[in-house]
C-alpha cells in the first residue's frame, strides 16, 4: 500500500494511485492540502510531544517551565529508573499483566471466534440463524453494560479479583465472529472443503488445515481489534480487580495519577509511565497499520 502511494511510476489500471489520478495538479492545491494535513498532525502529535518533554523534567521544572520547551536539567533517565523501580518494579508487572490480558486474550479470542464464524458460515444446521442473531445482538450490547452484572456473577463464583475475571470476558469477541463468518462465506471455497472430506479428513481437522489458512487475513484483523480493545479496556478491570498486582497498565497509571494531589512526585512517575507505555503501542500501531486496511469493511467489500 505504501509503495503504491509513494511510488512515482504511474500504474493506471490496478488502483487509482495518487499520481495517476491527477497528474499535474496545481502546486497551490498541494500546499493547501499539505498544510491542512500538517495542522492535523500537530493536533494528533502535540500531547505525545508534551509527554516526551515532560518526562525529561524534574517536578519543579514541570510546573515552572513551558510544557512544550525542554528544561535545562535533563532528568529523563532518573525519571524512567524511578518508574521502573518504584514499589518493587510494579510498573513492569502491570505491563506484563496487560500483555497477558491483551495478548493471550486476543489470541484465544481470535481462534474461538474463527471456529464459531466458520461453523456458522460453512454449515447449514438448525438453529444457526438463531445463534447468529443472538450473537449479533451481542455486538451491540455495550461492553460496560455487562461488566457490572458480570462482576456480581463472578463474585458469586469466586472469580472476581483474579486473572480469570479479566481474561475470560476478553476471550469473547462477537464482532470477531461476525467478521469471520462474513469472510468465511466469501472466501472459503466449498469445493476445497469437499475435497478435504474426500481425503478423509475429519470436520474439525478440515477447519484447522483449510479453514484457518484461508481465514488468515481476517484473523489478523480480529486479533488486532481484540488486542487493542483489551489493552485499552479500563472499566472491566476497574470493576473486577481490587488487587494492584493484577492491574493492567491502564489501571496502574491511573492509580499513580490519583496520588499526585498529595504527592507531587507522582507527576514524574505518571508522565514517565505514560511515555513508556505508549512507546511500544505507537511502534505497533505504525508497523501494523497496514493490517487494519481491510479491517472492518472486509465483509462489505468482499
Tell which positions 153-172 bind another protein, by CB under 8 A.
153-158, 160-161, 168-169, 171-172
Q: Is 143 a binder of another protein (CB under 8 A)?
A: yes
Closer CB to another protein, 72 or 142, in the complex = 142
Which residue, among 116, 233, 107, 225, has the nearest Cα to 166 in the 3D structure? 233
Determine contact, residues 207/111, Cβ cutoff 8 Å.
Answer: no
Site for another protein in 50-69 (CB under 8 A): 50-51, 54, 62-63, 66-68
Residues 289, 267: Cα–Cα separation, whole Å: 32
- Among positions 104, 112, 192, 212, the unique one binding another protein when judged by CB under 8 A: 112
CB of 115 to another protein, least distance (A): 4
CB of 214 to another protein, least distance (A): 15
Burial 21-53 (b: 16+ CB within 10 A, else e): eeeeeeeeeeeeeeeeeeeeeeeeeeeeeebbb
CB of 77 to another protein, least distance (A): 21
Q: Is 289 a binder of another protein (CB under 8 A)?
A: yes
CB of 263 to another protein, least distance (A): 6
Read off the DSSP letter of residue 13. T
Stretch that binds another protein, among 73-81, 116-124, 212-220 (CB under 8 A): 116-124
Closer CB to another protein, 81 or 264, in the complex = 264
The set of residues, in sequence order, having a beta carbon less than 8 Å from that of 180 and lying 6+ positions away, is 113, 114, 116, 117, 118, 121, 215, 218, 219, 222
CB of 157 to another protein, least distance (A): 8
- Among positions 94, 178, 231, 247, the unique one binding another protein when judged by CB under 8 A: 231
Residues 196, 188: Cα–Cα separation, whole Å: 12
Residues 224, 138: Cα–Cα separation, whole Å: 19
CB of 190 to another protein, least distance (A): 12
Pull the grid cell for residue 290.
497496514
Site for another protein in 161-220 (CB under 8 A): 161, 168-169, 171-172, 174, 177, 197-198, 200, 202-204, 207
Closer CB to another protein, 43 or 77, in the complex = 43
- Among positions 96, 145, 186, 195, the unique one binding another protein when judged by CB under 8 A: 145
Closer CB to another protein, 74 or 123, in the complex = 123
Helix axes 163-170, 143-157, angle to 10 degrees: 140
- Which alpha helices (H) appear in 123-211, and where do they start and end? 128-140, 143-157, 163-170, 174-187, 190-198, 203-206
Q: Would you call 75 helix, strand, or coil by DSSP?
A: coil
Q: Is 96 a binder of another protein (CB under 8 A)?
A: no
- Binding-site size for another protein (CB under 8 A) equals 129
Residue 142 φ then ψ, to 5°: -60, 130
Site for another protein in 25-44 (CB under 8 A): 25, 29-30, 32-34, 36-37, 40-41, 43-44
Stretch that binds another protein, among 70-78, 212-220, 263-271 (CB under 8 A): 263-271
Residue 213 φ then ψ, to 5°: -65, -45
Amino acid at each position: 500500500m505504501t509503495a503504491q502511494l509513494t511510488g512515482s511510476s504511474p500504474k493506471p489500471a490496478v488502483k487509482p494511485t495518487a499520481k495517476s489520478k491527477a497528474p499535474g495538479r496545481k502546486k497551490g492545491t498541494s500546499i493547501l492540502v499539505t498544510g491542512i494535513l500538517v495542522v492535523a498532525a500537530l493536533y494528533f502529535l502535540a500531547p505525545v510531544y508534551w509527554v516526551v518533554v515532560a518526562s525529561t523534567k524534574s517536578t519543579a521544572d514541570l510546573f515552572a517551565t513551558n510544557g512544550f520547551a525542554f528544561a535545562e536539567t535533563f532528568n529523563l533517565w532518573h525519571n524512567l529508573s524511578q518508574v521502573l523501580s518504584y514499589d518493587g518494579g510494579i510498573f513492569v508487572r502491570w505491563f506484563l499483566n496487560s500483555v497477558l490480558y491483551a495478548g493471550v486474550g486476543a489470541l484465544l479470542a481470535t481462534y474461538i471466534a474463527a471456529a464459531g464464524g466458520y461453523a456458522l458460515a460453512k454449515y447449514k444446521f438448525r438453529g444457526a440463524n438463531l445463534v447468529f442473531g443472538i450473537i449479533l445482538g451481542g455486538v451491540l450490547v455495550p461492553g460496560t453494560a455487562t461488566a457490572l452484572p458480570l462482576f456480581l456473577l463472578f463474585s458469586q463464583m469466586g472469580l472476581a479479583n483474579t486473572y480469570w475475571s479479566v481474561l475470560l470476558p476478553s476471550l469473547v469477541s462477537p464482532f470477531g465472529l461476525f467478521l469471520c463468518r462474513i469472510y468465511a462465506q466469501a472466501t472459503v471455497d466449498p469445493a476445497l472443503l469437499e475435497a478435504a472430506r474426500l481425503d478423509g479428513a475429519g470436520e474439525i481437522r478440515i477447519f484447522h488445515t483449510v479453514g484457518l489458512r484461508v481465514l488468515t487475513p481476517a484473523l489478523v484483523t480480529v486479533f488486532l481489534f481484540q488486542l487493542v480493545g483489551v489493552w485499552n479496556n479500563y472499566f472491566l478491570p476497574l470493576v473486577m480487580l481490587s488487587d494492584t498486582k493484577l492491574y493492567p497498565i491502564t489501571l496502574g497509571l491511573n492509580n499513580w495519577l490519583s496520588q499526585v494531589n498529595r504527592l507531587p512526585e507522582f507527576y514524574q512517575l505518571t508522565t514517565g509511565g505514560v511515555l513508556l507505555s505508549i512507546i511500544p503501542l505507537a511502534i505497533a500501531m505504525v508497523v501494523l497499520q497496514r493490517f487494519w486496511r481491510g479491517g472492518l469493511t472486509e465483509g462489505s467489500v468482499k
